[in-house]
């Protein structure tokens, strides 16, 4: 997808799946984002308006790439906040 269409909203990615994950520190937010992106199941819409759900990341390569990218972003956020 291009920048003009986002199938899911940022609020969906940031929403905790468990009560214990409701903290707003960087580590908790990182874990929420990681879990929501890797497990999938988030409802969204395609560019044509059709309902869809995100899929789980199943492959090791995809999982490693996702986790590396998230870690780099978390480090950048931590540096910006300090």
Please answer whether residues 29 and 81 qualify as being in contact, where contact means their C-beta atoms are separated by less than 8 angstroms.
no
- pTM of the entire predicted model: 0.81
Taking Cα atoms as reference points, which of 25, 28, 33 lies closest to residue 8? 33
pLDDT band (50, 70, 90) for residue 5 = confident
pLDDT digits (tens, 9 = 90+) for 47-62: 888 999 999 999 999 9
Please answer whether residues 75 and 69 qualify as being in contact, where contact means their C-beta atoms are separated by less than 8 angstroms.
no
Helix (H) or strand (E) holding 76: helix 60-81
pLDDT band (50, 70, 90) for residue 3 = low
What residue spans define the domains of the chain? 10-81
């Amino acid at each position: 997808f291009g920048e003009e269409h986002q199938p899911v909203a940022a609020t969906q990615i940031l929403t905790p799946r468990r009560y214990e994950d409701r903290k707003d520190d960087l580590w908790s937010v990182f874990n929420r984002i990681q879990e929501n992106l890797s497990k999938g199941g988030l409802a969204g819409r395609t560019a044509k308006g059709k309902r869809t759900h995100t899929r789980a990341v199943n492959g090791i390569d995809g999982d490693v790439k996702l986790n590396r990218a998230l870690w780099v972003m978390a480090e950048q956020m931590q540096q910006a906040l300090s």
